[in-house]
Structure 1
Amino acid sequence: MSEYTDRDFVDVDFSNGVFSEYDFSHCTFTRCRFRAARLEEIGTTGCQFIDCDFSGAQMNASIHTRSAFTNCQFANANLFVSKFEECKMIGSDFAAANLDGITLIKGDWSYTNLRNSNLTKQSLRGIAFVEADLSQCKLEKADLRDADLTRARLGNAHLKGADLRGAVLGGIDFKSFDMKDVRIDAIQAVDFARSYGAKIQ
């Protein structure tokens, strides 16, 4: 296994490179390109990826711990059974990425584009999705307890059986998705009723 520790890379093109099973620790990558790169089973710890492009990259079974991927592109990337623990993903775009079997533990996924993603039965408890685009996401039976969904877009999302108890739902358009069989708490029930014009006394 190759290791990179405390390295800084700026505007470097790693596209089509092979880095399978590499271990990156406390490295910073700024505006670097990893397009179609082989990144299977890599590990990152405390790294920062800023404005990087992972379009079409193979990142299946990769493990990321306390790393930051801010404003990065993951279009068509393969993140099958990857794991992100306490990572900061603010502003990143996952258009058409394969997120099947992904594991997310805490972290900040605010302002991300997760439209059409498959997050069925995923544990997303306590994760921040502030203003994230979760439109048309498959979230059936997902655990979203205590998540921050402030102003998140959930248009046509599939939430049957999902658990939203304790989640922050400020600015959510309840009319944009089906609430059938979704578990909510008493406070959320009041907000839901008000969104349909009910007067709570």
Structure 2
Amino acid sequence: MFQYMDQHYEAVDFSGRDLRYGELIRCTFKRCTFTSSSMEEITINQCRFIECNFRGASLNGSIHTESAYENCNFAEANLFVSEFNHCKMTGSDFAGAQLDGVTLVQGDWSYTNLRQARLAKQAMRGVRFYGADLSDANLEKADLRDCDLTSVIFGKAKLQGADLRGAKMDGIDFKTLVVKGARMDREQAVAFLRSHGAKID
């Protein structure tokens, strides 16, 4: 096990490295590459990653707390049962990433690419997904209460049984949603009915 604290790295290539079980604290990584690296069960606290590449990295069981991943690439990365606590993930790409069992505790996931993500039954209460792409994502029975879902792309997403109460849903095309069994508050239900042509008195 290793521990890096208060370090700064720029354009460093960590590809294929064994970084398992390590700990990163208050470190900054700018345009660094972690492709296909082994980062299972790594613990990352208060770090910042800017335009870093994690394509194909193994991050299963990793724990991320109060860290930022801005415009990072997680394509095809393994994030099975990983945890993100109060993290900023804006603009990051999760195309083809393994997200089964992931835990998201609040945080900012605005403008992320989560197309086809499998997030069924996940607890994601209070997460900010402003402008994110969740098209074709499986969100069945997910807890999305109090999330900011403003301008989210939900094309063909599965929301059956999801809990949407208290979520901000401005700019959502309700006609594209499959919401059978979803729990909505009164304001959302009115918006949904109006999008289908109902007149509400």
**TM-score (ref. length: structure 1):** 0.98
Aligned to 2:12: 12
Residue 105 (str. 1) matches residue 105 (str. 2): yes
> Once the two structures are superposed, what CA deviation does each residue of 1:133-159 show, in whole Å capped at 9, x if it has no partner?
001111110000000000001111111
State the alpha-carbon separation in 2 of the partners of residues 178 and 38 from structure 1. Answer: 38
Aligned to 1:195: 195
Aligned to 1:53: 53
Aligned to 1:93: 93
Q: CA deviation at 1:180?
A: 1.1
Aligned to 2:166: 166
- Structure 2 spans left out of the alignment, 5+ residues: none
Residue aligned with 1:44, SS: strand
Paired AA for residue 195 in structure 1: S
Residue aligned with 1:190, SS: helix
Paired AA for residue 151 in structure 1: S
Aligned to 2:28: 28
Aligned to 1:70: 70
The answer to whether the Cα contact below 8 Å between 2:150 and 2:172 also exists between their aligned partners in 1 is yes
> Once the two structures are superposed, what CA deviation does each residue of 1:143-201 show, in whole Å capped at 9, x if it has no partner?
00000000001111111110000000000011112121111011111111111122323
State the alpha-carbon separation in 1 of the partners of residues 190 and 178 from structure 2. Answer: 17
Paired AA for residue 187 in structure 1: E
Residue 128 (str. 1) matches residue 128 (str. 2): yes
| RMSD (Å), alpha carbons | 0.7
The answer to whether the Cα contact below 8 Å between 2:86 and 2:107 also exists between their aligned partners in 1 is yes
State the alpha-carbon separation in 1 of the partners of residues 197 and 175 from structure 2. Answer: 12
The answer to whether the Cα contact below 8 Å between 2:62 and 2:82 also exists between their aligned partners in 1 is yes
Paired AA for residue 159 in structure 1: L
Residue aligned with 1:192, SS: helix
Paired AA for residue 112 in structure 1: T
Paired AA for residue 86 in structure 2: E
Structure 1 stretches of at least 4 aligned residues deviating more than 3 Å after TM superposition: none
The answer to whether the Cα contact below 8 Å between 2:42 and 2:63 also exists between their aligned partners in 1 is yes
Query: Which shows bigger deviation, 177-186 or 27-36?
Result: 177-186
Percent identity, please.
56
State the alpha-carbon separation in 2 of the partners of residues 165 and 60 from structure 1. Answer: 30
